Chain A
Amino acid sequence: MVADYEPILSSRYGVPDAHRLAVAERNGAYATAKKALLTMRPDAIKEEVKKASLRGRGGAGFPAGIKWGFLNPKEGDDIYLVINGDESEPGTFKDRTLLNLDPHRLIEGALITCWAIGAHKAYIYIRGELAHSIAILDAALDEARAKGYVGARPFGKNYPIEIFSHPGAGAYICGEETALLNSLEGRRGEPRLKPPFPAIKGAFGMPTIVNNVETISAVPDIIRMGGETWCNLSRLAPRDGGVRLYGISGHVKKPGVYEAPVGITLRELIDDYGGGMLHDDRPLKAVIPGGSSTPVLRPDRMVEAEAEDHPLHEWHGKSEIDVPMGVDTFRALGTMLGTCCAIVMDSSVNMVDAARNLMRFYRHESCGQCTPCREGSGWLQNTLEEVCEGRGRPEDVALLVDIANNMMGNTICAFAEGTAMPMLGMIQQFHQEFVDAAAAGLPEGYRHDDSTRAGLAGDPADAVADGASTDDTSTDEVTA
């Protein structure tokens, strides 16, 4: 089935130099935007996107068509489109393929979306570390501008659209849409209080639609094919429509980004797309389904959905990794589809160590605004360091749960949940491993994360320099 699938969203990935406008245009780019701007009413475009059941590709899975409907501009308001390309979730690397290989698809999607929602300006906020992608996108924007597609009269239509790229400054939290808006405005990247939501008061105080790079990139295909046709490409139509990019990394033979219909299973992703497990003697132990914030699944756990009205009843008794990957199905499973980029872990992984690795990241990236996240993320990491180093106590497992339970839902943005959920998920799925480590540290001979990294980097000190410094004693600026 992988062989006979004709890619849509990534159709130009195989075309050499598709990031050049001329090449992209020969392969279909901008035809839809031209048609949409010259012949379609904004409402008609919005209707198609609504019919497409395009669930947001940034992680939350909110239907894009419905989000666009939240706009209710007042007289004199400017509407902004902001495209979230701050792809920083560990294990997630799909948006950058669009930026690198087919930036004109994103620009075309942005043009159509601007026309549909009444925006004259779009900002593409890109993770600062993706310098290569930013350069490619900027070059593509220059070409589109020179050609007149972006600017005062796109395709000759008297509807100016300007598109700007804006690099981030190295903060994971700026992928949260309101922190992104703060960063875009030159403020500290901290999530804003909601309400008001961006559709009411977003960039520069104006009504703003924030969508993921992949979401916007899907718009040209939806308009070209018609929302319903595009939606029905999905195995989970009509609730969760179309095709999407799947990422897979970790212990598989062919890690990478693959396009497939919405609703394939994790097992298909691993075996058919990822080429199966990396080592024949190391079976699959667990999968983080959609970016590191999503609770882990394990193949040897069966779906318990005996009740006929249970949303997962169809898969009752099957393995968790045989449930189709959809926004609603995975939520019913107690995890999230997130960014749809799976991290595959084989039997050599110790979950406590994996948890420590993740918590180092979250501790480092918490913006520090809300108490539960600022202190909770640090304490989770600190406790896991103690446990991993053999200084744990039996009650530490309960402590980890207690910290994470009380981070859940108690902060301004979802970062605390993104930290606590994987922590809770790992303890729920691999309780015994945590109990053992709390009693005696990590087992002898496991594949230590730091040693692996050190092996790659050459210098073990570098590998642990940042995350391990729980008790940072940097005292610059002390004037005591």
Chain B
Amino acid sequence: MPSFTLDGQQVPYEPGDTILRAAWRAGIEIPHYCWHPGLSVAANCRMCLVHIESGRQMAMPILRFDQAKQTYVPDTKPKLMPACQFPAGDDLVVSSTSEVVKTAQQHVQEWLLLNHPVDCPICDQAGECKLQDYWATHDQQMKRKRTEIVHKPKAVRFGPTIVYDAERCISCTRCVRVCDELVGDHVLDSRERGNRSEIFVAPGRELDHRYTLMTEHVCPVGALTSRDFRFKARVWFLKSANGICSGCAKGCNMHVDYDPRSREVERLRPRDNMDVNQFWMCDDGMMSYKAVREDRVLTGLVGRGEARERVAASAALAFAVERLSAVPADKVAFVLSATASTEENAALARLAEAMGSVHLYLAARPDWEGDDILRSADHNPNRAGANLAAGHALEESVEDLVSDLLAGAVGAVVAVGADSAEALEALAPMAALDASVVFASNHGVLSDAASVVVPIASWAESVGTYVNEQGRAQAYRRAVTPPGGVQEGWRAIADLAEALGHGLGVERTEELMPMPAANEAAAAAEVTA
């Protein structure tokens, strides 16, 4: 691989790379605001200016104070180039740390804050703001401008999800480019000129496409804030776990940001994965963390409707054992879930095998609207993983289960996950069963129809694996601990198996994860990543 010299270090590059992209790939940061690896080059922030040693001097002079003459005399300086735009080349010797570059960086940094309100104490970006970071690394001086800043519109509603503060904006146009290039919707642009510039929403429009939160995600400063997240948390209190989005079969990689003090998930952010979601997530995916907080099953539930009672999780499990023991083992139906982890599904499939039941079904959410960007039409994160856990493609749906119940082929149901495509009315035969046990983190149509509901941890509270539509097994890590008394799904299922006398003999989730042979290496890498 060819390489060039950056600050005395050899940096490899691929044909077509710019200096900044090659450095980024090598894990070296050249400071920048407007450049984003997933967007076109704008080269407008000028923070990434570097000195190409073979480059030319400026044609026109600058001035230097001559102490002897006590006046200004012409001087010259090298022509600096933006690293984000300048193509990497074999013989290049590049400096991003020389005195002349430092001077340029310091000035750009000072200029960006020149008309900035410096309202960090009330800004949601504080703590993850490039203006703060680069001030500390590249400026460290008090502002030399003495007069009032240029005032511009604040708290402008861009749409249902985004609020804009023009005074904090550095006009890097990342948000404009996300809309143009990722979404193909030219809904944002710049207006006015000079230091009155601001971003605005096209007249008659709102910022309302499916990826609006990506504008906030790419904003390097506090100009765009998410209406969902703003004023909720200080980012330096947040910790992060690696997650996989549960929204659809794409399997976008994400950061699950949570507050360890309250053990609440506060937001999701895309985690770069060039093979899956690149740098992005859709709004529905970004908001999917709400499921961790809302509509949860937090205790065991026994009975239905008015008669439903809350019991301890362990008591619910005991009820389940009692009810299921009354039905012949080979008559128990097992409903795997396209929304549950592969491990949860595998635990259930093993129990089915141990009990000698061949009645396996797959519950799945109905399709939603996909697109050509990220969203899969399959609204389930783990259809492939459920099939993998069963050892074969699950052909039979919950609708088939209902038919089999009516026909008397099965007499009891054990399901993991509460989501299914059917309406509750369609599940009447299941709702009439004495022994219908559902392991669920959230309420859904299956848990409503169940006679016993055992609470389990949500995806944010467990480790697990989803296999996406590409067949890619992707592990997610636990962010927060489950609510008191609630176990991870596979463990609850293993406990049930134990109590029914069909112990699974597993102690760790890894033992449950059936690897697809072709995918083994990739998945192993993913799991350990």
Are A410 and B153 in touch, CB under 8 angstroms? no
Are B197 and A188 in touch, CB under 8 angstroms? no
- Interface segment, B108-116, B396-404, B412-420, B482-490? B108-116
| A364–B170 alpha-carbon span in the complex (Å) | 18
A367 neighbours in B (Cβ, 8 Å): 193-194
B262 CB-CB contact with A under 8 Å: no
A193-B85, A406-B103 as given contacts; A363 in contact with B46, CB under 8 Å? no
A374-B171, A382-B145 as given contacts; A368 in contact with B150, CB under 8 Å? no
Are B151 and A473 in touch, CB under 8 angstroms? yes
> Which of A334, A408, A411, A424 has most B Cβ within 10 Å?
A408
| A408–B80 alpha-carbon span in the complex (Å) | 10
Q: Which of A362-395 contact B (CB under 8 A)?
A: 363-379, 382-383, 386
B77 CB-CB contact with A under 8 Å: yes
Are A475 and B153 in touch, CB under 8 angstroms? yes
Are B72 and A428 in touch, CB under 8 angstroms? yes
Which residue from A171, A406, A479 sits with its C-beta under 8 Å from B193?
A171
Interface contacts beyond A372-B46, A375-B115, A378-B115: sample of 19 additional A-B pairs, CB < 8 Å, sorted by A: A331-B59, A364-B193, A368-B190, A368-B193, A370-B45, A371-B108, A375-B111, A378-B195, A398-B65, A399-B144, A401-B63, A409-B58, A410-B108, A424-B72, A474-B151, A475-B152, A475-B153, A478-B153, A479-B153
Which residue from B41, B111, B157 sits with its C-beta under 8 Å from A372?
B111
A4 neighbours in B (Cβ, 8 Å): none
Are B74 and A369 in touch, CB under 8 angstroms? no
A-B contact pairs, 5 of them (CB 8 A): A331-B59, A370-B44, A374-B194, A404-B62, A410-B80
Which residue from B46, B62, B79, B189 sits with its C-beta under 8 Å from A424?
B62
A100 neighbours in B (Cβ, 8 Å): none
Q: Residues on A close to B: CB < 8 A?
A: 171, 173, 188, 190, 193, 331, 334, 336, 363-379, 382-383, 386, 398-399, 401-406, 408-412, 417, 421, 424, 427-428, 431, 470-480
Which residue from B60, B77, B144, B153 sits with its C-beta under 8 Å from A417?
B60
Are A409 and B80 in touch, CB under 8 angstroms? yes
| A190–B43 alpha-carbon span in the complex (Å) | 12
A478 neighbours in B (Cβ, 8 Å): 153-156
Are A366 and B46 in touch, CB under 8 angstroms? no
Interface majority SS (helix, strand, loop, mixed), chain B: loop
A374-B171, A379-B111, A472-B151 as given contacts; A427 in contact with B193, CB under 8 Å? no
Q: Residues on B close to A: CB < 8 A?
A: 41, 43-47, 49, 58-63, 65, 71-74, 77, 79-80, 85, 103-104, 107-108, 111-112, 114-115, 144-157, 170-171, 189-190, 192-197
Which residue from A190, A363, A383 sits with its C-beta under 8 Å from B195?
A363
Are A471 and B80 in touch, CB under 8 angstroms? no
A471-B148, A475-B153 as given contacts; A405 in contact with B194, CB under 8 Å? no
A417 neighbours in B (Cβ, 8 Å): 60
A476 neighbours in B (Cβ, 8 Å): 153
B154 neighbours in A (Cβ, 8 Å): 478, 480
Report the nearest A residue to B150, measured CB to CB: A472
10 tightest A-B contacts by CB?
A368-B197, A375-B111, A480-B155, A366-B194, A378-B195, A406-B107, A405-B62, A471-B148, A477-B153, A409-B58
A480 neighbours in B (Cβ, 8 Å): 154-155
Are B63 and A427 in touch, CB under 8 angstroms? yes
| A405–B41 alpha-carbon span in the complex (Å) | 25
B58 neighbours in A (Cβ, 8 Å): 408-409
Distance in Å: Cβ of A309 to nearest Cβ of chain B = 19
B41 neighbours in A (Cβ, 8 Å): 193
